[in-house]
Structure 1
Amino acid sequence: MPPVNRIADYAEDMKAWRRWMHQHPELQFECHETAAFVVARLKEFGITEIHEGIAQSGVVAIIEGQGDGPTIGLRADMDALPMQEATGLDYASTVEGKMHACGHDGHTTMLLGAARYLAETRNFKGRVALIFQPAEEGGGGAGVMVEEGIMERFDISEVYALHNNPGVPFGEFVTTPGPIMAAVDTFHIHIDGVGGHGAYPHETKDPVVATLGICNAIQTIVSRNHKSLDDLVVSVTQIHTGSADNVIPDTAYINGTVRTFDPTVQDMVERRLTEIVAGQAASYGVAARLTYERGYPATVNDARKTAFAADVARQIAGDTAVNDEGGREMGAEDFSYMLEKRSGAYLFLGQGTDAGLHNPNYNFNDEVAPIGASFFAKLVETAQPL
C-alpha cells in the first residue's frame, strides 16, 4: 500500500514544518527553538502529556492508545551541523554557519506527521513515546536521554528510528539485522620535539619526521594487525605542524577516527596505537602522547524487531522496495545507546536526491516525509493492534 491516506493529506503541512525547521537550524544540545516548535505542534494535535528539557532540549511526548499494552518508542533527531548552506533555496538556513545538512529537520517532520495521525486515530493498544532528541551530531544526545532515564521513566519496551539516505532510490527502505552502523572512536597524538633552523636539522629533534613515521605505521594496523574479514577503518584526518619553510617546528599534532563493530577489534586498535606512538617517538627521539576517546558504540539491530520493521515497511513501500539484508555501514549513530538499552531497529529510507549527507548542497526531499510518517504510524498499529 502507499502512504496512509490521512497522512498524505498532511503533506503540505509537513512541508511547511520541515522548511521552517530548515530555516532555523540549531546545534547539539541547543535545540530550544526547535523543541518549542515541536511542542507547539504536539499541543495542536491534542497531545497533553509532553515532557520537556530532557538532555537540555529534548522532548518526550506520550500518546495513549485504547486499552492496556506496552509503550513503543519512536525517535527523531533535531540538531543541525556547523556548516554553511550553499543550496540557494528560498527556505535556506537563515543562521550563518549552521545548516540542516543531514535531514534531521525531515526526521522530526516525519515523527510529527506520525504523531498527528496517531493522536487523531488512536487505533492501537498501549502507548507511544515520541522521542525528539538533540545532539546526534556530536554530544551523544541519545546517550544523555538514556542516562536521564527515559526508558524506565516512560516504560519504553522497544524503540525504532529512521534516517533518510540520498544514496537509496526514493521510497525504498534498507536495514539489516545485527550491527548496522559502526562504533566511532577518536585519537589525538601530540608530539613534542626540539625545533630549530631548517638548515641545521642535526641540532633538532624533528617532530615532522616523527609524524610521518607514526602516520605510516598507523596504516599497518588495518593491513597487518586485524583479520581481513573483520570490518575496520583507521583514518588519519588531520596533521598540524610548522609555520615557515626554514623552521623545523617544536610540535606536531595528529588526529584521526577509528570505526569498528567488534569490541575486541576496538581494544586491539587502541593497544596498537599506544605501542606505535611510543615506539615511533622513541626511534625519533621525541616525546609523544596519545589520547584515545571511545565514542558512540556500534548500532546493533535486534534480529526479530528488524524483521518485523521490514514487514511493516513492505506494507508502505511494497515487497520489492524493502531490503532487509542491506549490510552494515561504517558511519556511526548515537541511536546505538537506545538500542543498547532496549531492543528495536534502525532503518534507512531512500530519498533519491543527488547531494549526499553533510554536503552544503544537501536538501531533504519533502516528498518522502509522508512515507516515513506512515511507516512510524503503521509500526505502532501493527505492533500493538486493537
Structure 2
Amino acid sequence: MNRLIQLRHTLHQFPEIALEETETAKQILEFFASLHPDRSYEKLGGTGLAFVFEGKKPGKRLLFRCELDALPIEDLKSSDHQSQIKGKGHLCGHDGHMTIICGLGEKLAQNRLDSGEVVLLFQPAEETGEGAKAILEDPKFEEIRPDAAFALHNLPGYPLHQVVMRQGTFAAGSTGMTLDLQGKTSHSAHPEAGINPAQTLAVLIQELSQLPKKLEGFGLLTLIHAVLGSVAFGTSAGKASLSMTLRAYDQKDLERLIDLVKEASKSEAAQAGLGVNFTFVESFAVAKNDPILYPIVEKAAENLGLSILEKPEPFRWSEDFGLFSQICPAFLFGLGAGENCPQLHEGTYDFPDELIETGVEMFWEILSGI
C-alpha cells in the first residue's frame, strides 16, 4: 500500500485538467511497465490509456474504469502532497480512483485469471463530459469493447468505506444549454426602430424553470447565466443569451426537457420577431446500473464485511460513466469518504488514502464473483 499511497500523492501534486492529461498518462504508463499487461493502448480518445490482462482461457471481458483529469480549482489544503500547479487540483478524487485501478493492476499481474479478460481503462476529460464519448468513438475501442463495465466514485458525507448502491439510475444525466436571441440594435432614443430581446429574455427566465413540471419523472432546470446587449447607453440591445443546466434521472426525460426548452424559446422568439439558436456543452448521459450486476457488487461488499447503503434516490450530479451503460451492462457505486470529509470540488478536499485498499478489494471481489 505504501507504493500506491506514494503514487496517489504524486498524482495529487501534479494535476492536469480535461484534455491536458499527458504527464498524468506518462505516470500511469511508467507504473504499468513493471506489471507486463498482455496489451496496452495509448492515446485512447486523446490521452486515455487501457491495459489488458488476459486469462488462461477465453471468457467475458470486464472493464474497470477511472478518470485522469483534475479540476481548475485551487488546492487549499496544506499537506506534503499539496498541488504544485497553481489553480489546479485533484479535488474530485480522481487521483485516488486512478490509484485504485493501479492497485487492481498489481493484483492481476500477480494472480492471472483462469478465464476472460480484464481491461483497466484510464479515461480523460470526465469533468467536462467529453472523455467517455471520445473513448467510445475511438476506433481502438472496438478491440476492448467489454461485456460489462464497472466504476466507483468516492462520496464525502458518507461513513468511511461504506458502499453506496442503487438499482437503476445512480446519477442524473445533464447538459449545459445556451440559447442565443438575435434581434436588431437601434438608438436607445428610438427603441421602436430595433428589436430588443429584453422582454423575451425576461419571459423565458420565468417560463423555462417551470418546464420540468411537465415531465413524468424528476427533472431540474437551473438558470446559471444571462446576458442582454452591452453597456452602451446610446444603444437599444439587439442580442441576448440565457444559459442553463438541465438534469433528469431518465434519459428520455432529459431529452424531453431539451425539446420543451427549444419549443418554448422558439415560440417566444417568433412572437417577438427574434432569431434563436441553441448550443450544448458538458453533456452527461444518465448513469444507469444494470440489475443483473447489482447482486455481484452487493456480494462483493458483503464478502469484505463493508456497510451497504441502498440509496433511495439517485444523485443529482452527473458522471460520464453513464455513457458506458448505453453500450453494455454497467455498474457505478459509491465509497464513503467520511462524514466529515470536505465535499467534492471544495478547495480543502483530499482523497482519503484509507479508501485505496477498499477500492482495490471491492473491484477484486467483483472480478472474482463473475
Scaled by the length of structure 1, the TM-score of the pair is 0.87
- Aligned counterpart, 2:269: 281
Q: Does the alignment pair 1:323 with 2:327?
A: no
Q: How does 1:111-260 map to 2 (within 5 A)?
A: 111-122=101-112, 124-149=114-139, 152-154=142-144, 156-195=146-185, 205-223=195-213, 225-227=214-216, 230-244=217-231, 246=233, 248-260=236-248
Describe the shift of the 1:135–1:347 C-alpha distance in structure 2 as closer, same or farther (beyond 3 A). same
Q: Match of 2:355, as an amino acid?
A: V
- Secondary structure of the 2:75 match is coil
Q: Is contact 1:182-1:329 (8 Å) kept? A: yes
- Aligned counterpart, 1:346: 332
Describe the shift of the 1:342–1:291 C-alpha distance in structure 2 as closer, same or farther (beyond 3 A). same
Q: Does the alignment pair 1:81 with 2:66?
A: no
Q: Which moved more, 1:337-346 or 1:141-150?
A: 141-150
TM-fit CA distance, 1:204: 5.4
State the number of aligned residues.
Answer: 368
Gaps of 5+ in 2: none
Distance 1:173 1:150 in 2: 33
- Secondary structure of the 1:79 match is coil
In the alignment, which of 260, 265, 273 is matched to residue 253 of structure 2? 265
Q: Is contact 1:29-1:55 (8 Å) kept? A: no
Describe the shift of the 1:17–1:288 C-alpha distance in structure 2 as closer, same or farther (beyond 3 A). same
- Aligned counterpart, 1:355: 342
Q: How does 1:11-90 map to 2 (within 5 A)?
A: 12-90=2-80
Distance 1:201 1:49 in 2: 67
Higher relative contact order (CA 8 A, sep 6+): 1
Describe the shift of the 1:245–1:317 C-alpha distance in structure 2 as closer, same or farther (beyond 3 A). farther
TM-fit CA distance, 1:149: 4.7
Distance 1:262 1:64 in 2: 36
- Aligned counterpart, 1:4: none
Distance 1:361 1:240 in 2: 32
Distance 2:279 2:120 in 1: 37
Distance 1:284 1:156 in 2: 51
Across the aligned residues of Structure 1 and Structure 2, the Cα RMSD in angstroms comes to: 2.4
TM-fit CA distance, 1:373: 1.0
Describe the shift of the 1:325–1:195 C-alpha distance in structure 2 as closer, same or farther (beyond 3 A). same
Over the matched positions of the two proteins, sequence identity in percent amounts to: 25
Q: Does the alignment pair 1:93 with 2:83?
A: yes
Distance 1:378 1:150 in 2: 28
- Aligned counterpart, 1:377: 364
Q: Which moved more, 1:16-25 or 1:50-59?
A: 50-59
Describe the shift of the 1:250–1:151 C-alpha distance in structure 2 as closer, same or farther (beyond 3 A). closer
- Aligned counterpart, 2:93: 103
Describe the shift of the 1:290–1:125 C-alpha distance in structure 2 as closer, same or farther (beyond 3 A). closer
Q: Match of 1:117, as an amino acid?
A: K
